[in-house]
A = this chain, B = another copy of it.
Amino acid sequence: MAVTSPPRLSALVRKLQADSKLTNEQSAAILALPAIFREFRAGQEVVREGDRPSQCCLILDGLACRFKIVGDGARQIHSYHIVGDIPDLQSLHLARMDHNLACLRSTQVAFITHTALRELIKVHPNVGQKLWRETLIDASIFREWMSNIGRRPAITRIAHVLCELLVRYRAMGLAQDMVIPQPITQTELGDAQGLSTVHVNRSMQELKDEGLAVLSGRNIKILDYERLAEIGDFDPAYLHLCEMPDMIEARAYTDRCN
């Protein structure tokens, strides 16, 4: 179950070049990180609230989320994590997990020890800055979701999160066909945006009736990104995607740029 280092960490290299290129040495150092690869089934938890991890996990394929269970048992999803993300990077500096990390679909991850990451950062401070930057983008997404949940109506929230997912996948070179490449259930959308499953369903139907987004098999297909972004009050600036390697297409979804 635990193999060492095929050239699979390239997803991380790609992600970290969002703002500016890495040098060859930096890329090489990342690709050479010692990693343990593992596959999780849908529903499995990777790290739990209260844990004190000694490693971070890089998503190679699939879909994960961070979440908390509140007093009455309800789940709040804080973020979705796709290929290239390191959802528990914060554990490098915050000893104790204050939330959970679980896989929503069947998911492949690479575990990299804190020790190895610290060594990488020491030798390549620029990579350290880029990792810091990634955690700041996470925080920016949290803020946007907070605005969503706190101050926007249900239909807007759903449209918004669909836009975000699409743009993030496309920034990683996926979802060319405007289909979000991982299925996301309506319950999961509700737990992310503070809505009941029933109400998500009704919002999705509105989006369908308007010709903005539909279910394509088990996946969500965006039919009219422009109008979806409009009713979703969506401006991708908060994703800080600019200077992506393939900005040619990412730029189409980004009006303002860093």
**Contact residues of A with B, CB < 8 Å?**
50, 52, 66, 68, 70-72, 74-76, 78, 90, 93-96, 98-99, 122, 125, 128-129, 132-133, 135-140, 142-147, 149-152, 156, 193-194, 233, 237-238, 240, 256-258
Contacts and interface: CB of A to CB of B under 8 A. Distances in A.
Nearest to A129: B93
A74 to B, nearest CB: 4
Contact of A146 (B50, B122, B149): B149
A140 B49 CA distance: 12
A100 to B, nearest CB: 11
Contacts of A140: 90, 94, 98
A256 B50 contact: yes
B142 A258 contact: no
Nearest to A138: B139
Given A138-B139, A237-B98, A149 B152 contact: no
